[in-house]
Amino acid sequence: MNSGALPKWFVAFSDGARPVWWQRGLRRGFRHVEAFAWDADARAWVVVSPACDICVVRAMPAEMGAAYLAELHKRKATVVLAETACDGPGRPRLLATCVTAISSVLGLPGLCAVTPYGLYRTLLHRGATKVAG
């Protein structure tokens, strides 16, 4: 594990809060991916929600966690709990997508998945546990 990395992340797959036209070719329910983890030292949730035009990283106080989970439930998100990996030296990520950003947060190898559904399958194969959806 990388020094300072949070050891476990919840990874949420959904159609996204604001779908865009090019996502129509992706599997329903797996058109966007974001991740969140509890940082015990900061006593806050860390949320990483990347998109093609912006990557939002924010800290949320514990009391806002329930509203965030309610929003994921409203979007019918599938959520898995995955451990952070470190498979050796990192490789550059040539594409800037939600999948490559979350793969980087989790410390996965360069091109382990291209689509959110591919990342979901990769995480399950690596031992992630489905917790919702």
Nearest by Cα to 133 from 3, 18, 29: 29
The yes-or-no verdict on residue 101 having pLDDT over 50 is yes
pLDDT over threshold 60, residue 88: no
The beta strands (E) that lie in 3-132 are given as 8-14, 32-39, 44-50, 55-61, 78-83, 129-132
C-alpha 58/C-alpha 69 separation (Å) is: 15
* Burial classification of residue 84, based on how many CB atoms lie within 10 Å of its CB (0-12 exposed, 13-18 middle, 19 or more buried): middle
pLDDT in tens, 108-131: 876 678 889 999 999 999 999 999
